[in-house]
Each structure stands twice: as structure tokens, then as C-alpha cells.
């Protein structure tokens, strides 16, 4: 049996080499189908892993309250309309009034120029309470966080992002040195670890944190805040807590039913759902494109095998005359069609693997192999190869030696 299979494979390979252009055209259809299916399976798995990692970095069980109305500027950056109605007393009362809330950390953020000697960068400066570092899972590379005592004394301390450290200090020790934040001298006490871009499109390495009380009084001179990070107790539904927070704020402000909110409440999971919907949509489009490519590839194999049968009538007649049975002829053409399909599938997997490596490297996406997509691709290739070869193989058995060999 092994010798017979080897013989059929040898004949199939020789036939493909004789008709290289035909074989390449048939292989390409299957190649593109497998490539898109396999590559996107890998990339989508990596994207989901990246999103899960970003959620863990951002902080668990968090609700974000922002003044203003949320909108998307471009494809990545989330922004808010300006609103000055969110007061500190409202934020502080949330924890006391809603039992589901474990901790509330108000913040005020704004873009300011930061200068050290001749170097200058523009960064997002965030005034927060010191508890935010634990709440947001923020790690320190070297130095320390500012303390609650420094907050109380309105001291000008700052913890800077890693890219700001590299841009302003170029490897020089920044601890204890002063930078000018919006013309105000501010002492650097710590540098954060590299975190990259978060789910909202904000580069975490270009942020600066400083005490909220210092920032609102000595830098911005405001009596309101931009928002708050609200940590919910374990086991509590975030959606239900969001509803309670919204009702509480509207009640405190005595807003009428017809009045629209001038604040936004959302969670990381809300952003996650939006991103997953995008991935799901692209996945559907990729699947449709793969199905079309498989169909075209299958038709290509079918056409080539049908043409091959017609051209090899004499070969079929000779083989039948020397003892080959109809099932041997059928098996021969089935082997050839399956070989073309599987070869296209293997080349598609190699191309998909290469595309995955490139995309993961460019997009900083964790590398994964979607073994399910791999097995599915090979299975589909085998099925297409068999189906595309059935009719041509059966047609080949209809040629009788006396008909094709007679002059």
C-alpha cells in the first residue's frame, strides 16, 4: 500500500512540475484563503490578550467619572467636552452615599509644557491623591511616590512618566531636581515604569502625577475637578453601580428629567466591548474573504484537474491496458487534487505565520498561534482537494483503452 501511494505521489508531482503555471494559479487561491484565516486568527488572539493585559494594568473594578460629554477624536483618542460643574464635595460624598463604592480618587488633568534647562516637552499633568498609584496599579521605576503629608502641605512634587524622563534627562538622575511645569518649579521625586498606551489611546509614559491640592491651587487655580476614579467592591455589578452614581449626581444637582447629563460615567469593560465588537466585525469580514478565496481556489483546482484528465486520455488508456483498475485511476487524480490543495494550505500557513510576526512586531501585540484556525485550515484544504477531484477522477475512469488508443 505504501509503495502504491508513493507511486501515485510521484506521478502527481511530475504532473505538477510539467504544468507549473496551472499549478501555481490553483495554489494561490488556497494560499490566500489560508493565509488570511490563519493570520487573523493569530492576530485576534494576540489583540484579546493585549486588551486583557491593559485592563489589569489600568486597575480592576474601576469606574471612571468624567466631567463633560465623551466623544472620539479620530480612530484612537477619547476626548471630553469641557465642563466645570464637577465639584470636590460631590466626589467626596459618593463614597459615603453609595455602599457599593470602596474608594474614590478625584483628579484634574491638563496639558502643560515641562522644561528642564534647554529641553522642553508637552505632557498631560494629572493632579491626584496619592492613593491613585495603588488604585491604578502604577509601578515606580526608581524614586518614590509623593505622600499624603506632602499633599496636605501643598508641596510641589511630581512623578513623571518614563518617556518624559528620557526626553528631559537623557539618563541623568532626575531625583531631587526641579523642572518648570507651566513656569512653576516642581521637584521630581519618582519615575514611573514603562506602561505604553492604554485602552483609551493615551500614552501612559508621557504623564506627570502631582498632588491634587497642590495642582488645583498653585498651578491651575480652580475650584472644580475633571473627574474621579471610583473603585467598586468585589462582587458588585459595575453596571448597577454606574446607575447609582448617575442618579446620585443628578439628585445632588437637582436636575430635572429633561436635562441632559454634563458628565460621563464609563468602565474599562465598556471600552473593551467596543474594541471586541471591532475585532468581531473584522473577523466576520475575514471569514467571508476566506470563504470566497477557498471557493475560487477549489474551482481553480477543479478546472485544472478536468483539463488534466482530458489531456491525459492516452496515459489513462495505457495504464488501463497494462492492468490499472478504475479505482487506481480515480485514486491518482484524487491524490493530485488533494496535493495541490494541501500544498497551497501549507504555503498559506507559512505566509500567515510571517504576517503574524510582522504585525505583532509593529503593533506590539503578544504573539500567539491559533491552533484551532491552523487545524481548520488544513482540514478545509483536504476537503476542498477531495471534492475538487471527485468529478474529474470519475470522468477519467470513463475512458476505455480501445477508444483512446485506437488510431
pLDDT tens digits, one per residue of 31-78? 888 888 888 888 888 877 777 776 666 667 888 898 877 655 444 455
Average pLDDT over residues 5-32: 71
State the average pLDDT for the chain: 81
- Give the model confidence (pLDDT) of 271-324 as tens digits: 666 666 777 777 787 778 788 888 888 888 888 888 777 776 666 666 666 666
Average pLDDT over residues 97-113: 91
pLDDT, greater one: 175 or 392: 175
Average pLDDT over residues 226-247: 88
- Give the model confidence (pLDDT) of 331-341 as tens digits: 777 788 888 88
Q: CB of 69 within 8 A of CB of 207?
A: no
- Give the model confidence (pLDDT) of 119-165 as tens digits: 999 999 999 998 888 888 888 999 999 998 998 999 999 999 999 99
Q: CB of 196 within 8 A of CB of 204?
A: yes
Nearest residue to 141 via CA among 164, 121, 122, 116:
164
Q: CB of 44 within 8 A of CB of 283?
A: yes
The least confident of 7-16, 17-26, 187-196, 330-339 is 7-16
Q: What angle do CA 201, 158, 123 make, to 5 degrees?
A: 35
**17/19 Cα distance (integer angstroms):** 5
CA atoms within 13 A on the CB side of 96: 5
Q: Which residue has the cell 493615551?
A: 202
Q: What is the SS3 assignment for 235?
A: coil
The least confident of 5-19, 83-97, 156-170, 300-314 is 5-19
What ranges do the domains of the chain cover? 2-53+273-405, 84-261
C-alpha distance from residue 177 to each of 24, 72, 143, 153 (Å)? 66, 37, 12, 19
Amino acid at each position: 500500500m505504501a509503495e502504491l501511494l508513493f507511486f501515485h505521489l510521484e506521478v502527481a508531482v511530475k504532473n505538477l512540475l510539467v504544468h507549473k503555471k496551472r499549478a501555481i494559479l490553483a495554489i494561490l487561491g488556497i494560499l490566500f484563503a489560508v493565509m488570511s484565516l490563519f493570520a487573523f486568527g493569530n492576530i485576534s488572539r494576540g489583540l484579546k490578550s493585549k486588551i486583557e493585559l491593559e485592563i489589569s494594568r489600568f486597575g480592576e473594578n474601576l469606574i471612571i467619572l468624567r466631567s463633560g460629554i465623551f466623544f472620539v477624536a479620530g480612530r484612537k483618542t477619547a476626548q471630553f467636552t469641557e465642563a466645570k460643574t464637577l465639584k470636590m464635595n460631590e466626589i467626596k460624598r459618593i463614597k459615603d452615599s453609595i455602599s457599593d463604592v470602596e474608594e474614590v480618587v478625584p483628579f484634574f488633568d491638563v496639558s502643560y509644557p515641562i522644561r528642564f534647562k534647554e529641553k522642553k516637552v508637552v505632557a498631560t499633568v494629572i493632579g491626584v491623591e496619592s492613593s491613585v498609584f495603588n488604585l491604578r496599579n502604577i509601578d515606580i521605576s526608581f524614586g518614590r511616590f509623593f505622600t499624603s503629608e506632602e499633599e496636605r502641605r501643598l508641596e510641589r512634587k511630581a512623578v513623571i512618566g518614563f518617556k518624559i524622563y528620557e526626553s528631559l534627562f537623557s539618563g541623568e538622575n532626575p531625583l531631587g531636581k526641579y523642572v518648570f511645569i507651566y513656569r512653576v518649579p516642581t521637584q521630581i521625586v519618582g519615575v514611573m515604569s514603562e506602561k505604553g498606551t492604554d485602552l483609551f489611546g493615551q500614552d501612559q509614559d508621557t504623564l506627570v502625577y502631582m498632588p491634587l491640592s497642590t495642582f488645583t491651587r498653585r498651578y491651575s487655580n480652580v475650584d472644580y475637578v475633571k473627574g474621579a476614579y471610583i473603585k467598586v467592591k468585589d462582587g458588585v455589578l459595575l453596571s448597577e453601580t454606574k446607575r447609582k452614581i448617575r442618579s446620585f449626581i443628578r439628585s445632588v444637582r437637582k436636575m430635572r428629567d429633561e436635562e441632559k447629563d454634563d458628565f460621563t460615567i464609563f468602565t474599562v469593560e465598556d471600552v473593551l466591548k467596543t474594541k471586541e465588537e471591532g475585532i468581531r466585525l473584522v473577523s466576520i469580514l475575514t471569514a467571508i474573504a476566506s470563504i470566497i478565496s477557498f471557493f475560487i481556489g477549489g474551482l481553480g483546482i477543479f478546472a485544472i484537474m478536468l483539463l488534466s484528465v482530458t489531456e491525459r486520455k492516452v496515459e489513462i488508456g495505457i495504464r488501463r491496458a497494462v492492468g490499472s483498475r478504475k479505482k487506481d485511476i480515480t485514486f491518482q487524480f484524487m491524490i493530485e487534487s488533494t496535493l495541490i490543495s494541501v500544498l497551497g494550505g501549507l504555503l498559506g500557513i507559512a505566509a500567515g505565520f510571517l504576517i503574524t510576526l510582522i504585525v505583532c512586531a509593529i503593533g506590539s501585540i503578544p504573539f500567539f498561534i491559533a491552533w484551532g484556525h491552523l487545524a481548520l485550515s488544513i482540514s478545509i484544504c483536504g476537503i476542498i482537494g477531495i471534492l475538487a477531484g471527485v468529478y474529474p477522477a470519475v470522468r477519467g475512469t470513463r475512458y476505455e483503452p480501445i477508444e483512446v488508443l485506437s488510431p
